[in-house]
């Protein structure tokens, strides 16, 4: 066989490989790569766990609401003992852009605080105005000011009149504490990281799990992080879409409920399916967490060194998007219903938990400086809200579960290790209890 024939065969094989990869289903595009030796991560629906009765949108993500974009910057550096201000780093930023040119084409918005041990900046103006006029950013607690600087710089670059000939802004930045795995004092998310996340934000599939603001999060004693889901209503109900994105850093192991099964209580039980209970999280010496290295206290006041991550309090941020034409009051009502979705997964909004929900609608446009005294908006009647309420509850529940099943095991500062929930064990528990 001549050289030219070898080249032609190689070209054909290369073409076949490219065609095979391009034919992969969209659902696979948002799957986080597992750690070496860890089972592949899957969304709950891919595991055969169906939540609720409404159908998801094509992506089963907040980006199923047309115009919504999501961007992440993930920061993972270093390992070993904590060096305050230096590392190890397990953190990031996630941004949600409600629509293109949201400054001039504002979206209506409403919020609800289930428990306020945390912060979501800018909510006073959202409550007063009933609208949202800039991107939302999620990050860790001590990074809130730096991330706010990044959002303001991005806005000023796009709208140079801000603070001069135009209004100023109070950006919406929401936080969860990732100091169990991350060098929180280092405040490693820079202004440039925020700009990168905003410039790179896109529609389409949303990466979940250990990504962006979710990089260092722990939920229900397992590795948590970013999760998303959506619901699309029937034509009879208006054909509207509701999308939810969460940053899950909340809950205790024994509280976790999945599809009505008390998974958290069964997971570590001796004699449970798949043999003996998996090993408890360990510190860098290999001893159970709490038996050796002291670590900073969590918001509930209990030392994280005295309990495993299964006992942590944590927080959760829930962002809800819809194209249904709702006003700020109605969106506040929708935001409240997200709490019911959390409850279905076992959340109880503990004393030390920060549980913040923000909902916005792209169904109308509020002009920046209306020339006329009045402008027209479409308004969905309250009597037709029920399908949207149910869809919000379902999408919130599934988004939380996606955060758990898509996250991978992570080792952070001081060798603290947080295991991902075992998908094979989860399937076994659910199959037995159904």
Tokens of 196: 């990168």
Angle in degrees, 0-180, between the axes of helices 191-199 and 144-158, rounded to the nearest 10? 50
Tokens of 310: 């299964």
Active-site position among 308, 315, 390, 408: 315
Residue 343, judged by CB atoms within 10 A of its CB (0-12, 13-18, 19+), counts as middle
Segment 296-303 long-range contacts (CB within 8 Å, at least 24 positions apart): 296/179, 298/177, 298/180, 298/352, 299/117, 299/177, 299/352, 299/353, 299/354, 300/350, 300/351, 300/352, 301/352
Cβ contact 105:196 at 8 Å: no
Return the C-alpha torsion angle 32, 37, 40, 44, nearest 10. -100
- Cα separation, 119 vs 103, in Å, equals 23
Active-site position among 219, 353, 390, 408: 353
Active-site position among 355, 361, 390, 414: 355
Cβ contact 388:363 at 8 Å: no
315 is catalytic: yes
Tokens of 221: 């004693």
Which 3 state secondary structure label does DSSP give 232?
strand
57 φ/ψ angles, rounded to the nearest 5 degrees: -70, 180
> Is the backbone of residue 229 left (phi > 0), alpha (psi -120 to 50) or beta?
beta
Give how far Cα 221 sits from Cα of 76, 320, 327, Å. Answer: 21, 25, 37
Cβ contact 363:322 at 8 Å: yes
One DSSP character per residue, 246-288 reads: EEEEE--GGG--BTTB-HHHHHT-TT-TTSSPPPPPB-TTSSB
Maximum distance among all Cα pairs of the chain, rounded to whole angstroms: 80
Give how far Cα 155 sits from Cα of 148, 197, 289, 368, Å. Answer: 11, 13, 43, 14
Which 3 state secondary structure label does DSSP give 88?
coil
- Strand 69-77 to 218-219 pairing: unpaired
Residues annotated as catalytic are: 315, 353, 355
């Amino acid at each position: 066989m001549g050289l030219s024939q070898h080249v032609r065969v190689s070209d054909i094989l290369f073409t076949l490989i490219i065609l095979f990869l391009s034919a992969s289903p969209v659902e696979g595009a948002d799957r986080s790569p597992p750690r070496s030796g860890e089972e592949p991560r899957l969304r709950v629906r891919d595991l055969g766990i169906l939540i609720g009765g409404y159908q998801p949108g094509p992506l089963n993500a907040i980006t199923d609401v047309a115009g919504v974009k999501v961007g992440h910057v993930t920061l993972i550096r270093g390992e070993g003992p904590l060096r305050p201000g230096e590392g190890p780093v397990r953190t990031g930023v996630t941004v949600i852009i409600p629509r293109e040119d949201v400054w001039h084409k504002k979206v209506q918005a409403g919020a609800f605080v289930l428990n306020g041990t945390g912060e979501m900046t800018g909510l006073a103006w959202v409550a007063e105005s009933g609208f949202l006029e800039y991107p939302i950013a999620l990050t860790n607690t001590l990074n809130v000011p730096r991330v706010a600087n990044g959002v303001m710089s991005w806005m000023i670059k796009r709208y140079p009149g801000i603070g001069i000939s135009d209004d100023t802004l109070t950006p919406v930045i929401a936080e969860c504490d990732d100091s169990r795995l991350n060098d929180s004092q280092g405040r490693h998310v820079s202004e440039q990281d925020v700009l990168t996340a905003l410039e790179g934000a896109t529609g389409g599939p949303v990466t979940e799990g250990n990504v962006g603001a979710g990089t260092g999060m722990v939920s229900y004693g397992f590795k948590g992080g970013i999760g998303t889901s959506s619901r699309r209503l029937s034509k009879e109900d208006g054909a509207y879409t509701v999308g939810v994105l969460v940053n899950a850093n909340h809950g205790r192991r024994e509280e976790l409920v999945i599809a009505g099964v008390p998974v958290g209580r069964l997971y570590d039980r001796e004699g449970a399916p798949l043999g003996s209970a998996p090993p408890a999280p360990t510190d860098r010496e290999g001893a159970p967490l709490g038996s050796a290295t002291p670590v900073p206290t969590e918001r509930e006041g209990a030392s994280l060194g005295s309990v495993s991550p299964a006992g942590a309090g944590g927080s959760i941020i829930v962002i809800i998007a819809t194209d249904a034409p709702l006003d700020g009051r109605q969106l506040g009502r929708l935001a409240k219903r997200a709490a019911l979705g959390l409850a279905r997964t076992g959340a109880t909004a503990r004393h030390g938990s920060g549980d913040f929900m923000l909902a916005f609608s792209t169904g109308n446009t509020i002009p920046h400086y209306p020339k006329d005294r009045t402008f027209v908006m479409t308004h969905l009647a309250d009597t037709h809200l029920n399908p949207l309420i149910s869809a919000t509850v379902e999408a919130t529940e599934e988004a939380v579960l996606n955060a758990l099943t898509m996250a991978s095991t992570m080792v952070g500062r001081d060798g603290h290790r947080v295991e991902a929930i075992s998908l094979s064990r989860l399937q076994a528990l659910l199959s037995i209890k159904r």
